[in-house]
Amino acid sequence: MQCAVITGPVFDLHDCPGHPESADRLHAILARLPAGISKLDPVAAAEEDLARVHQPGYLAWLHGLSPRSVPEDPGGRAGSTAGQAPGAPVVSGFIDADTYFTPWSYSVATYAAGAACMAAARAIDGKSSFALVRPPGHHALPGWAMGFCLINNAAVAAAQALGSVDRVAIVDWDVHHGNGTQEIFRKSDRVLYCSVHAEGIFPLSGTATETGSGNGAGFTVNAPLLPGSTIGDYVHVFTELFLPVLERARPDLLIVSAGQDAMTGDPLSVMGLVPADFGTLTSLMLDGTGLSPAFVLEGGYGPSHPAAINAILRAARGERSTGPVPEPTDATRARVRLFRKMHGL
């Protein structure tokens, strides 16, 4: 099975040189993609797709911050005045200490969400894809931007997919908890959200006791791990917790919020993964669910990030690692026993 990528120069228009989440990180990935991989151009998500997960007032406010539309040729962005009156100033800035915007950011974010929707639609048809997009999305709340994120790409894709499937699962392996995705689907019994992340770092959410509410009780599965955790700890979470709850939920679609910032050497990491480990996690999900995942890029900021993307793509096309996986720590074993009990496993 081949895994296509969905990406394009449109994502260069959201950029802040020197910021961890700059256009350079996607350039590095694209420069090292496997030869011959299929590349698909992204299409912007419709306003109705965004409004399924974000408040209309927030979308209008964000659009007002970034009023310029993407030009027909994103590569010729310099000096473009698309979507704005001639002579209007080009204004960039920060929504908070971490999250920036440019005059094109809202329009670019609609393409990121649209690419995620494309990946989800292809996955429903049995064709795995990786939406290599920016800005990332899993911290974006229904009514606010944070953590580098403006629009919640994976959530938009999941909500759109629910128009054609019964249930969606989102697995989030970014080192940071996807608080926005959790909040969007907190009360839903049609979206299973599973997150493995480092305990005690931004955004300081994702405790094991956050399991959803109302109809969604039990459909949020958080597995916070201690800093320094390695692939042995992650594999234990997947095999003993995530795969059993996925089997019980029987989703029609699997979306992966694919943030590779849990690696040694990533400037935002406190974990101990290496690039090949993301191939291991991908293989576990493919073999354990029988589904073709839709991957949506989240974090990943270090020099080995492109190698991790390649490990995911190789696993998605059937390659399997034969190397040994270390044992989980006693602390992780104890945590997973507790998590299993909390979720009736």
Q: Which residues are catalytic?
A: 139
**Residue 75 backbone zone (phi > 0: left; psi -120 to 50: alpha; other: beta):** alpha
- Of 275, 297, 253, nearest to 127 by C-alpha is 253
Q: Are the C-beta atoms of residues 323 and 274 closer than 8 Å to each other?
A: no
In Å, what is the CA distance from 154 to each residue of 149, 295, 296, 329, 335?
A: 12, 9, 7, 31, 27
How many residues does this entry show for the chain?
A: 345
**Residue for token digits 């990121």?**
112
Strand stretches in 231-301, DSSP E: 253-258, 294-297
Q: At what angle do helices 105-124 and 153-161 cross, to 10 degrees?
A: 40
Exposed/middle/buried for residue 252 (C-beta within 10 Å: 0-12, 13-18, 19+) = middle
Question: What values do phi and psi take at 46, rounded to 5?
Answer: -75, 155
Residue type, 176: H
Pair 70, 13: CB distance under 8 Å = yes
Q: Which of 134, 130, 132, 133 is nearest to 119 (CA)?
A: 130
